Structure 1
Amino acid sequence: MSTWTEIGDRCWVRRYDEWDLNVGLVAGSDGAVVIDTRATAEQGSELLTHIRELTDVPVRWVVNTHAHFDHVVGNSVFTDATIYLHENAAAEEDLAGTTFSVAKVIDLGDRRVELLHLGNAHTSGDTVVVVPDADVFFVGDLVEESAPPSYGEDSFPLEWPDTIDRVIGMLSDTAKVVPGHGAVVDAEFVRDQAGDIGTVANTISGLHHAGTSLADALQHTEDWPWPLEQLQDAIKRGYGALGAPRRPTLPLLGPGSSA
């Protein structure tokens, strides 16, 4: 059975068996922020019950780290809260809420929570939630611990390395990083995973630069840090961003030339 774990001053995480999803809770003197709300309304109701077992601080804000269903469908339960999400996340799934483009600060009374959009990665609407006074970072599916990062049909494999590098630039050696799925990790784990994310981007770019067709790239078995079957969308999305690869061609013979 999952339980709340306090990873910083009034910063909790609960790891649910369904989707191995992490939910965050940050409390201040004026209210609490919930980070992600689970995959169904029933799970959202269960989450609210679990929050009430932990604290009676009113939930005044909800933040969605991105638009995927396992993180947002429980929003409907939190009728008294302001829902915050990135403008791209709202547009992708027609989600209701208050949007921001680059950064937003939520004032909890005696502390603040920062919402940051650092670039395209897992989706175009990823939000990093920072609790500065506790050195805690909720990063959604920019990082995963219990499985490889998820490259879906809405991912940006070539931009992901730069985005995760911006996260790393904010991390101290003592930072607590909450991934979308799996155990809480540290800066070293994020740096290691960022290296593999960079390898995926470099391999896709290298194959494309060499003139490898998309069909052949999807069968390429070397150089990947994770199983090829989990990277099919990454390759397709990368090639889609780069355009059709140029194939080496022999020079045409000029007029009057002979073979």
Structure 2
Amino acid sequence: MSAWEELGDRTWVRRYPEYDVNVGLVVGSEGALVVDTRGDLEQGQQLLADIREVTELPVRWVVNTHAHFDHVFGNPAFPEAKSYAQENTAAAVAETVAIDISFSVAKVIELGDRRVEVLHLGNGHTDGDVVVVVPDVDVYFAGDMIEESAPPSYGEDSFPLQWADTVDRLIGLLTATSKVVPGHGAVVDAEFVRDQNSDIGTVANTISGLHHNGTSLEGALAHAEDWPWPQAHLEQAVRRGYAALGAPPRPTLPLLGLEKDE
């Protein structure tokens, strides 16, 4: 059974075996804030019970890092809390989960004697990714922009060509002592984030290079070299990248050795 891991003053993460998902908990003088709520109502209710192991303060705020079900469908277990998400996330889950407060770029949530900052740094895993920052303890809940227990997940709503630039903005906020909580897996540091982002950048550059060279989508999907992760894992990355870039240019034939007409 998982347990709470304290990352700093009144700041915890709990790693659940279902989907290997991480949940964050930040407590201030006026209540508790939860980062992501697991995959359904029952899991959310179990999370609420688990929170009572470390605090009896009410859960007044919920922040969802993105729209995927394993991070947001537990929200109904917290009916007294105000839920926050980036506006694209709120739109994506509107038919299944209500978000109380949506925003475009940034939101500050005051917990009484401390604050939490919620930042949308750009597109990556989805178009609604946010990083939840706890400044006084140098902790960053990064959602699925960063993953530790598996390669980053490129789904049908990912942005493989923009992802590395978005993580670069996160890296710009980190210090040598920052603790970064990925959406799935163990807590990591800034060096891990930099290393993983190098691989994310390699995926983007390989897709762009194949496209620039006139490789068809089918050819790119069959390309077996240069990838940092298994080719099969990157099918949607290639498809999404090519969709963003449009039809590849037609390869041109070299004209060397041909005489010009006089």
Q: What corresponds to 2:251 in structure 1?
A: 248
Q: How much identity, in percent, do the aligned residues show? A: 71
Q: Which runs of 5+ in 2 are unaligned?
A: none
Whole-Å Cα distance in 2 between the matches of residues 228 and 248 of structure 1?
24
Q: What corresponds to 2:98 in structure 1?
A: 96
The alignment partner of 1:47 has SS state of helix
Q: 1:209 aligns with which of 207, 212, 231?
A: 212
Q: What corresponds to 1:32 in structure 2?
A: 32
Q: What corresponds to 2:45 in structure 1?
A: 45
Q: Give the number of aligned pairs.
A: 254
Whole-Å Cα distance in 1 between the matches of residues 253 and 178 of structure 2?
55
**Letter paired with 1:82:** K
Give the RMSD, CA atoms, in angstroms: 1.3
Q: Does 1:160 align with 2:180?
A: no
- Deviation of 1:2 (Å): 0.1
The alignment partner of 1:238 has SS state of helix
The alignment partner of 1:54 has SS state of coil
Whole-Å Cα distance in 2 between the matches of residues 215 and 65 of structure 1?
33
Moved over 4 A (4+): none
1:50-129 equivalent positions in 2, closer than 5 A = 50-94=50-94, 95-97=97-99, 98-129=101-132
**Letter paired with 1:196:** D
Q: What does the per-residue CA deviation read over 1:69-98, in whole Å, with 9 as the maximum and x for residues that have no partner?
A: 000110001000000000000112214211
**Letter paired with 2:156:** E
Whole-Å Cα distance in 2 between the matches of residues 3 and 248 of structure 1?
56
Whole-Å Cα distance in 1 between the matches of residues 57 and 5 of structure 2?
17
Whole-Å Cα distance in 1 between the matches of residues 35 and 252 of structure 2?
53
**Letter paired with 2:181:** V
The alignment partner of 2:102 has SS state of strand
Q: What does the per-residue CA deviation read over 1:155-183, in whole Å, with 9 as the maximum and x for residues that have no partner?
A: 00000010000000000000000000000
Q: Which runs of 5+ in 1 are unaligned?
A: none
Q: What does the per-residue CA deviation read over 1:10-34, in whole Å, with 9 as the maximum and x for residues that have no partner?
A: 1000000000000000000011100
- TM-score, with normalisation over the residues of structure 1? 0.96
**Letter paired with 1:89:** T
Whole-Å Cα distance in 1 between the matches of residues 140 and 118 of structure 2?
10
